[in-house]
Structure 1
Amino acid sequence: MGQRKRIAERRNTKPAVIGGMIAVVVAGAGFGVYALYDGGAAADDGTRTTSTGADQKAKDVPSGPLSATEVTTTARTFLTAWQQGKVAAAAAATDDSAAATTLLTGYTKDAHIKDVTLTPGTPTGDKVPFTVKGTVAYKDTSKPLTYDSALTVVRREADGKPLVGWHSSVVHPDLQDGDTLVTGESGTPPIKAVDRDGGALTEDRYPSVGPVLDGLREKYGKTAGGKAGVELRVIRGKSSKSSESSESSDKTLLELSKGTPGTVKTTLDPALQAAAEKQVAEKARSSVVVLRPSTGEILAAANASKGFNTAFQGSLAPGSTMKVITSSLLIEKGLASADKKHPCPKYFTYGGWKFQNDDKFQIKNGTFKASFARSCNTAFISQAPKLKNDDLTKQAQQVFGLGLNNWAIGVPSFDGAVPVQSQAQMAASLIGQGAVRMNPLNMASVSATIQAGTFHQPYLVSPSVDNRKLATASRTMSATALSQLRELMSYTAAYGTAAEAMSGVTGNVGAKTGSAEVDGQKKPNGWFTAYRGDLAAAGVVQQGGHGGDTAGPIVAALLKAGG
């Protein structure tokens, strides 16, 4: 009786629910377990388990590339809602409704843009361009506004729904995430920036100066004697860094009424600036800076790419131009001397990394001068075991004034970075790879320091204008190191990797080439730094290849022009 009761109890057991999955459990524990874990396999007696809710839901979630219909429909939904002023509906069509709500609300309330018409263009894949036409109206002043923008449609992972991938640039291409649009009486009066001779600096005349003019206005607008007008402006979101060197400048998009500009005089030389603009216009992704070593005055700065001032704010591995700084360190520590024998093997392994020279060359029984002139990587890497982790960092900071985030040139700039590293990364830093980061302003300053014998912080606006304090180096390099570095750079300009570019550049000259490998790039960034008399210059051509072939002719042309 007891046995029959237990069998009956087993047969009357209700389906077990585990994690949302129903498993039909019949007589025999073994079969019950099999049915539970097999995910829907047929049972011997014809009983079949069902697919789980989660499995079915996963099958229902759209995946894969977006269809043309999904892209156009999503874009139309968003643009229509935005045009109609339905902020909630427009934001709901994005993958970040909170951020979209904030910016789209401010588009009307803070930027005072009304009567908006949004016209989509022809999609390219998941990207849809569109044209914006509207009116900016503030008090009794109004002005038409027209610009082009674009959006990208993405598929939400959770449910596969196509949505507009939200970034602030969707609203206006000059917006970065965290920025806002505001129309009103500008808190910063306009400026009239002039060169060292009093000539006006305008984007029409000098295409590269747009970011410079924005930076000058932000810093000097309130003190230059001008009166504010009414403008539509991009107000930059503040990053965690607050120094002059880390912030992008606010940007004027539309001037509704003119203010009265104040005048800000810069150190730019009109002839050299015009020459620099011409040089970068002929080489894509190029940037260049020219300095006066004896004072630190910036005489020219130009970028082929508009919008971001790579010349002052770029953060790029400098490649072998860094060997100027490394050489000063090795000479001062007695680890190298211009005319003494120095190793340049094909390979050198340190910290688990195997380093090699370009084309795997070697110099047998050569001097340090020969290694510098030919840019032998292993000549520098081979000295890594004899150095402390912070030696290069200290040399860059103490002698060349780099990496301390304290330059005050008059507009935003990046002061270079040579972080303390160990093992292979420290070795890579010796040849300008690893985590070392520079821009043409920094590397022009390096050549200027060698030419002048001491560091003079570069500046675009004289410190006498606002009584600001310029950065200084804590020490000068030894007379022996300075003399040998000048010899090394002079020899390289005449007989080394810089000789072809520097051909025809006469007088007291010195140079160093560089090529910096970048992950994901087929060609390295080409670098070149040099001096001639009381001029120093440096340039970079991103993805340009060897610096002597790409950046070298740009720098050499400007040294000739300034002579």
Structure 2
Amino acid sequence: MGNRRRVAERRKTRPAVLGGMIAVVVGGAGFGAYALFGGGAAAEDGTRSTSTAQQAKDVKSGPLTAAEVTDTARRFLTAWQKGEVSEAAAATDDPKAATALLKSYAEDARVEDVTLTPGTASGGKVPFAVKGTVTHEDLSEPLAYDSALTVVRRAGDGEPRVDWKASVVHPELKDGDKLVTGASGTPPVKALDRDGGELTTAKYPSLGSVLDGLREKYGKKAGGEAGVELRIVRGEASKKAELSDKTLVELSEGTPGTVKTTLNPALQAAAEEQVAKKKRASVVVLRPSTGEILAVANSSHGFNTAFQGSLAPGSTMKVITSSLLIEKGLASMDKQHPCPKYFSYGGWKFQNDDKFEIKNGTFKASFARSCNTAFISQAPELENDDLTKQAQEVFGLARNNWQIGVPSFDGAVPVQSAAPMAASLIGQGGVRMNPLNMASVAATVKSGVFRQPYLVSPDVDGRKLATASRTLSADTLAQLRELMAYTASAGTAAEAMAGVGGDSGAKTGSAEVDGQKKPNGWFTAYHGDLAAAGVVQAAGHGGSTAGPIVASLLKSGG
């Protein structure tokens, strides 16, 4: 590698190594070098002039002062930078966990020459910059990143302490994860799009977690050879959440194997461009006739919400609920159907957006306008597990058996009763989905059969794709397509779908979230042999937030 340096070539004059770390004096905005390493630090060494009995009486409370925040942060950062792990850990509210991770930072991550530069505190939060050198035998590479800590009052005595989380050490660490430098164990992969072009985060920023997932699953199967690198090794909790190990610094190149994906380069580029226009936006595009994933993008490039998100899908769930009601004879698109302002069930009072009602209207009109009470009113006629079975048996959801080629969440439709069961009919309650799931729902309606989405062909590794146990009747399917087509042309999706034309259908959704001023906006639709779904969190109604993103991708073709 052109930027590889030998340890021996690093500076010859170095301060003493303490606990695997290097003490380097650095000042920072809001602190200053003197405040960081002395001049007032004595009061923080644990010594108190008052007796133990008096301390027990003097439990600190109330908001933290600026001095408490800066002094606590200084104490922690000074000790960490010097390699004094015990002292740093004592400045946190969980010394045991802090000791383990800070010790691992030196011994397992092999980070030396650590420099910590604190920034200006904001409330209890203190940002800081980290610089160091990652070493392994005769290899070394620079390390630089930004992190932050938060000072809180410790339970019991109210003393200010750093609120310990693994993310203090590195922002991408989850509790239970650690940093390790060494032979990676898993060879790198060169991921290709469907046309043979290389997929990189430089070209497609959203694909970081996807590329990590491809490496974890196919690295040892694709014929590559491992290199030496600093990486995040996931703990049990992260593995349960299907988070992949992640490379942070490469000290020596491995030889990558090759993995071909189904991504369409033009659609992927368009998806990246679309989500970049919104905060917290995610989208997925599928091919209904095959299940191939053609594009996946998130405006936030950390967690892959598009594949792994677990969010209430709001009224986009009404596609599944409508198929259930039609099959059970509880609704028919051209028959009159109730849409009152309110409907109470299980002790909860449900209402429509802006408390509208449709008098003497059809189910088609209720679906197109997304009338909540039209669906809630049918709850008394349903069994508690009806919606769960419909989602599993027809749409292939909520069975935890999809194998798309990288980690994904397959949706959740738990069996519920009373009011939560009624809420699940409109995509609230305990129902959880992501854009991959809802794009699959639209694809199932378009093709008439569930085809498990996939990013890597099953032919690559012989894995078995998930299937549904039954399909909708021809009449139910025809009605469902008409409901979505009418919504796209004359309902809540009409503005977004204007200009898409032809063989199209759509459904909007807005999902209320506790503590959030605006709902999550959802949109799922199909056009020709494309199906897509998107969500924009905390942004408002789906027709005006996620709708334009999805519609633009359907228009672009692929």
Q: TM-score, normalised by structure 1?
A: 0.88
* Inter-partner Cα distance in structure 2 for 1:499 and 1:271: 25
Amino acid at match of 2:254: G
Q: Secondary structure at the match of 2:482?
A: helix
* Inter-partner Cα distance in structure 2 for 1:240 and 1:138: 26
Specify the alignment match of 1:294 in structure 2.
Answer: 289
Amino acid at match of 1:425: P
Specify the alignment match of 1:157 in structure 2.
Answer: 155
Q: Deviations over 1:101-143 (max 9, x none)?
A: 1111111111111121222222222111112121111111111
Specify the alignment match of 1:103 in structure 2.
Answer: 101
* Inter-partner Cα distance in structure 2 for 1:283 and 1:122: 28
Distance apart, 1:157 and its partner CA: 2.6
**Contact 1:276 1:558 (8 Å CA) reproduced:** yes
Q: Secondary structure at the match of 1:264?
A: strand
1:83 corresponds to 2:81: yes
* Inter-partner Cα distance in structure 1 for 2:181 and 2:53: 52
* Inter-partner Cα distance in structure 1 for 2:546 and 2:513: 17
Map 1:249-260 onto structure 2 (within 5 A).
Answer: 249-260=244-255
* Inter-partner Cα distance in structure 1 for 2:70 and 2:238: 38
* Inter-partner Cα distance in structure 2 for 1:345 and 1:469: 46
Q: Secondary structure at the match of 2:236?
A: coil
Structure 2: gaps of 5 or more residues: 1-50
Amino acid at match of 2:244: S
Q: Secondary structure at the match of 2:123?
A: coil
Distance apart, 1:55 and its partner CA: 9.9
Q: Secondary structure at the match of 1:465?
A: coil
Q: TM-score, normalised by structure 2?
A: 0.89
* Inter-partner Cα distance in structure 2 for 1:254 and 1:318: 37
* Inter-partner Cα distance in structure 1 for 2:185 and 2:56: 54
Specify the alignment match of 2:188 in structure 1.
Answer: 190
Specify the alignment match of 1:321 in structure 2.
Answer: 316
Amino acid at match of 2:203: R
1:489 corresponds to 2:487: no
Specify the alignment match of 1:279 in structure 2.
Answer: 274
Q: Percent of counterpart pairs with the same letter?
A: 79
Q: Deviations over 1:138-192 (max 9, x none)?
A: 1111112111111111121322222111111111111111101100001111111
Specify the alignment match of 2:538 in structure 1.
Answer: 543
Q: Deviations over 1:376-395 (max 9, x none)?
A: 11111110000000000000
* Inter-partner Cα distance in structure 2 for 1:221 and 1:167: 30
Distance apart, 1:59 and its partner CA: 4.5
Q: CA RMSD in A?
A: 1.4
**Contact 1:238 1:247 (8 Å CA) reproduced:** no
* Inter-partner Cα distance in structure 2 for 1:240 and 1:547: 30
* Inter-partner Cα distance in structure 2 for 1:167 and 1:525: 28
Q: 1:240 to 1:195 in 2, by over 3 A?
A: closer
Specify the alignment match of 2:68 in structure 1.
Answer: 70
1:456 corresponds to 2:451: yes
Q: Secondary structure at the match of 1:515?
A: strand
**Contact 1:445 1:458 (8 Å CA) reproduced:** yes
1:560 corresponds to 2:539: no
Q: 1:240 to 1:225 in 2, by over 3 A?
A: closer
Q: Secondary structure at the match of 2:196?
A: coil
Number of residue pairs aligned between Structure 1 and Structure 2: 508
* Inter-partner Cα distance in structure 1 for 2:202 and 2:140: 25
Structure 1: gaps of 5 or more residues: 1-52
Map 1:171-250 onto structure 2 (within 5 A).
Answer: 171-239=169-237, 242=240, 246-250=241-245
Distance apart, 1:239 and its partner CA: 2.7
Mean Cα deviation higher: 459-468 or 474-483 = 474-483
Distance apart, 1:533 and its partner CA: 0.9
Q: Deviations over 1:512-542 (max 9, x none)?
A: 1111111111111111110011110001111
* Inter-partner Cα distance in structure 2 for 1:363 and 1:129: 53
Q: Deviations over 1:395-418 (max 9, x none)?
A: 000000000011000111110000
Specify the alignment match of 1:433 in structure 2.
Answer: 428
Specify the alignment match of 2:337 in structure 1.
Answer: 342
Amino acid at match of 2:436: L
Structure of higher CA gyration radius: 1
**Of residues 351, 372, 394 in structure 2, which corresponds to 1:399?**
394
Q: Secondary structure at the match of 2:414?
A: coil
Specify the alignment match of 2:133 in structure 1.
Answer: 135
Q: Deviations over 1:11-31 (max 9, x none)?
A: xxxxxxxxxxxxxxxxxxxxx
* Inter-partner Cα distance in structure 1 for 2:238 and 2:115: 36
**Contact 2:394 2:469 (8 Å CA) reproduced:** yes
1:524 corresponds to 2:519: yes
* Inter-partner Cα distance in structure 1 for 2:182 and 2:253: 12
Q: Deviations over 1:43-75 (max 9, x none)?
A: xxxxxxxxxx99965642222122222222211
**Of residues 110, 113, 124 in structure 1, which corresponds to 2:122?**
124
Map 1:297-316 onto structure 2 (within 5 A).
Answer: 297-316=292-311
Specify the alignment match of 2:403 in structure 1.
Answer: 408
Specify the alignment match of 1:266 in structure 2.
Answer: 261
Specify the alignment match of 1:330 in structure 2.
Answer: 325
Q: Secondary structure at the match of 1:215?
A: helix
Amino acid at match of 1:332: E
Amino acid at match of 1:157: A
Specify the alignment match of 2:383 in structure 1.
Answer: 388
Distance apart, 1:282 and its partner CA: 0.8
